[in-house]
């Protein structure tokens, strides 16, 4: 398996090559090796999601989760994930899927609030003890797909989860390239996030419009997903041992557009991430302009 990413911390996209399938892995339909049109763990399905990202039509009978959790009261407000993610096998499920969760490298603020299974608690850690976000297990991911009515071959779920996790890790690396430009950026943490599938960002809309006129230079297809990540960093760098005085936090919203790119020579899917701070304040606007000028100068000098 190999990973290849050409990254940039500016408004330009980062192209990500997904790992190849192991030699002993069963064949996987090409469409199922793409992630769902939106992450099923964080959002409701959108009618605007492109149908070609589904491996099959939504179940005619309407998939139902055995636990009624499609209400705001049962969702974690930090990530819109159900507070208690089921690890039980679905009726008629033929393959046994792993139920162990994987810890990400993405730090999150410690909290004594009840996050339920949305935080995970690997190794018995409580919300207050856990310092990183944790990914859903393949079984939990599959359960979420079924709950949303999306058919995905059971044998493909582990690869889909691997792609999902990999894209999030790369997105965080792109966020950190922005954050490290500020004092305290090394201590940035992902406070909360939200999936906004089918809701185009202003930049994505602009690129689609420009793509009609200059198709060779701008996107002609919309992103298959969008996330908004809320990231905090201390206003002044603090020592990890200084627990007496809570630092003042600076909050930045990042917009992440997920695009499909042409497959590589071996037919493996490639994705492109556009990660940048939202234009919510003067600091973010200044950074977007500064980084854009830096990259323009590099391009002129090349």
> How confident is the model over 157-188, as pLDDT tens digits?
999 999 999 999 999 999 999 999 999 999 99
Tokens encoding 86: 């089921």
Q: Which residues of 44-69 are buried (b: 16+ CB within 10 A; e: fewer)?
A: ebeeebeeebbbeeeeeeeeeeeeeb
Average pLDDT over residues 214-242: 85
- In the prediction, which pLDDT does 79 show? 55
Q: What is the DSSP letter of 110?
A: -
Model-level pTM? 0.73
Q: Which residue has the higher pLDDT, 249 or 51?
A: 249
List residues bridging with 231 in a β-sheet.
190, 252
Percent residues over pLDDT 90 in the chain:
42
Is it the case that residue 217 has pLDDT exceeding 90? no
Average pLDDT over residues 67-85: 52
- In the prediction, which pLDDT does 78 show? 59
> How confident is the model over 2-55, as pLDDT tens digits?
333 333 334 445 555 554 444 444 444 333 334 444 555 555 444 333 333 333
Average pLDDT over residues 95-115: 83
Return mean pLDDT, the chain: 74
Average pLDDT over residues 130-144: 90
Is it the case that residue 256 has pLDDT exceeding 90? yes
- pLDDT range class, residue 61, cuts 50, 70, 90: very low
- In the prediction, which pLDDT does 13 show? 54
Q: Please, how many CA atoms are within 13 Å of residue 175, restricted to the half-sphere of its CB?
A: 31
Q: Which residue has the higher pLDDT, 77 or 56?
A: 77
Average pLDDT over residues 80-98: 81
- In the prediction, which pLDDT does 48 show? 37
- pLDDT range class, residue 82, cuts 50, 70, 90: low
Q: Which residue has the higher pLDDT, 76 or 56?
A: 76
Average pLDDT over residues 109-119: 54
- In the prediction, which pLDDT does 278 show? 96
Phi/psi of residue 168, nearest 5 degrees? -65, -40
Tokens encoding 181: 């430009």
- In the prediction, which pLDDT does 54 show? 33
Residue with tokens 């002993």: 24
* Separation CA 243–CA 225 (nearest Å): 38
> How confident is the model over 223-235, as pLDDT tens digits?
999 999 999 999 8
* Separation CA 228–CA 113 (nearest Å): 22
- pLDDT range class, residue 145, cuts 50, 70, 90: confident
Tokens encoding 134: 């944790």
């Amino acid at each position: 398996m190999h990973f290849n990413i050409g990254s940039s911390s500016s408004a330009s996209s980062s192209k990500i090559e997904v790992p190849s399938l192991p030699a002993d892995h069963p064949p996987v339909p090409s469409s199922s090796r793409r992630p769902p049109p939106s992450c099923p763990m964080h959002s409701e399905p959108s009618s605007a999601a492109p149908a070609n990202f589904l491996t099959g039509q939504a179940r005619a009978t309407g998939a139902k989760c055995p636990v009624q959790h499609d209400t705001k009261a049962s969702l974690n407000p930090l990530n819109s994930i159900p507070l208690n993610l089921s690890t039980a096998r679905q009726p008629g499920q033929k393959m046994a899927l792993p139920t162990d969760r994987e810890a990400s490298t993405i730090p999150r603020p410690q909290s004594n609030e009840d996050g339920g299974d949305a935080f995970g608690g690997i190794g018995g850690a409580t919300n207050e003890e856990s310092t990183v976000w944790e990914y859903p297990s393949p079984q939990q991911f599959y359960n979420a797909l079924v709950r949303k009515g999306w058919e995905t071959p059971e044998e493909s779920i582990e690869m889909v989860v691997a792609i999902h996790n990999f894209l999030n890790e790369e997105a965080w690396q792109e966020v950190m390239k922005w954050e490290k430009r500020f004092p305290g950026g090394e201590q940035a943490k992902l406070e909360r996030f939200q999936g906004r599938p089918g809701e185009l960002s202003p930049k994505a809309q602009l690129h689609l419009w420009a793509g009609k006129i200059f198709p060779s230079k701008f996107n002609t297809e919309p992103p298959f997903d969008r996330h908004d990540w809320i990231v905090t960093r201390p206003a002044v760098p603090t020592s990890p041992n200084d627990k007496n005085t809570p630092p003042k936090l600076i909050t930045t919203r990042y917009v992440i557009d997920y695009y499909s790119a042409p497959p590589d020579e071996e037919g493996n899917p490639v994705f492109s991430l556009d990660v940048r701070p939202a234009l919510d304040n003067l600091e973010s606007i200044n950074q977007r302009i500064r980084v854009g000028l830096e990259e323009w100068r590099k391009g002129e000098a090349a």
